[in-house]
Amino acid sequence: MSHLAARLWRHRGISGSLLLTPPMGWFVFIYLPALVVLLITAFWTVNSFTGVIERDWSLDNFVYIFSSHTYRDIILRTIVMAAAVTITDVVLAFPVAYYCARMASARIRILLFLLMLLPLWSMFVGPMYAWRIILADQGILNGLITSVGLSPLSISYSNWAVWIVFSYMWLPFVVAPTYAALERIPESYLEASGDLGGRSWRTFRKVIMPLAVPGVIAGSIFCFSLTLGGYIVPSLLGGPGSDLLGNVIFANVGAANNLPFAAALGIVPVVVMAVYLFFARRLGAFDMM
């Protein structure tokens, strides 16, 4: 045993490869091939009479996606939804993360994290139905609104409902990295800013914000990509006019049985994410890693 430990100590490379083998194996042998198959499938078509996949190279799927109003709208709606949810979550997450990182006692911090992570621990579908009850026309939210004398909202089974529930679901994914970035800022930086005449706003703008940006962007990447691919929320809380890429792809795989078309649609979020990551990198989001 000690012999093995000594050998590992002498050859650091071996320890490194041992640690990396399982995830790398998964990545190389499962994830990448799946992606390649997706890419290839997207250039095939389905015979509309027989329902058989025809393995001839063609751009038909993409031409159809980008020439059809319906699909262009869905893509645009998905991107706008992902952006809206991301902005909402960043705005909501920052104060919470700041409070947890720099003001809360250890006990309060743990309690707040528990509350935030709770929706992720419960079965995913449970909270969805809770939100249906809350947002329904005769639901809890409208009950509260009418009780203070305002006219009720009609947001159930709409883009509003999808936006609210997505924002709720992905909030912890933005809070966690933002918290990590804020927690890493030494107290002495804030003291130095004050010492040099910087009031709270200046300290926030010039010291805290720039140092928190990498964390915020990391969180936004989670949030944006999760929304791009989310299909349960639009399926259960959306209605007419709130189809997103995720549930449309799901419908094409299942109901329509058009796998090549679903694959072509599936390429879209991959490309959008690549563009997003490119700009995040330009903003310096990965410099601090």
Minimum CB distance to another protein smaller for 56 or for 187? 187
Given the complex with another protein, which of 13 and 186 has the nearer CB atom?
186
In the complex, least distance from residue 199 CB atom to another protein, rounded to whole angstroms: 5
CA distance 45 to 191: 63
Shortest distance in whole angstroms from residue 188 CB to another protein: 4
For another protein, which is the closer residue by CB, 98 or 131? Answer: 98
Min. distance of Cβ 100 from another protein in angstroms?
A: 22
- Footprint of another protein on this chain (CB under 8 A)? 186, 188-189, 191-199, 202, 206-207, 210-211
Give the shortest CB-202-to-another protein separation in angstroms. 6
Nearer to another protein, 114 or 192 (CB): 192
How far apart (Å, rounded) are the C-alpha atoms in residues 208 and 228?
Answer: 29
Closer residue to another protein in complex, CB, 53/185: 185
Q: How far apart are CA 75 and CA 269, in angstroms?
A: 9
Least distance to another protein, CB of residue 187, Å: 9
Kindly state the smallest distance separating residue 208's Cβ from another protein, in Å.
Answer: 11
Please provide the DSSP assignment of 1-36 as one string: -HHHHHHHHH-HHHHHHHHHHHHHHHIIIIIHHHHH
Distance CA 260, CA 253 (A): 9
Minimum CB separation from another protein for residue 169, in Å? 32
**Alpha carbon distance 200, 204 (integer Å):** 6
Q: Which is nearer to another protein, 11 or 206 (CB)?
A: 206
Q: Which is nearer to another protein, 198 or 229 (CB)?
A: 198
User: In terms of CB distance, is 24 or 288 closer to another protein?
Assistant: 288
Q: How far apart are CA 56 and CA 164, in angstroms?
A: 43
Beta carbon of residue 213, minimum distance to another protein (angstroms, whole number): 9
d(CA 176, CA 75): 28
**H-run or E-run covering 101:** helix 69-102
Distance CA 5, CA 13 (A): 13
Give the type of residue at 115: L
Q: d(Cα 196, Cα 228) in Å, to the nearest integer?
A: 44
The C-alpha atoms of residue 155 and residue 55 are separated, in whole angstroms, by: 44
- Sequence-distant (6+) residues with CB within 8 A of 156 are 132, 135, 136, 137, 139, 237, 239
Q: How far is residue 49's CA from residue 41's CA, in Å, rounded to a whole number?
A: 19
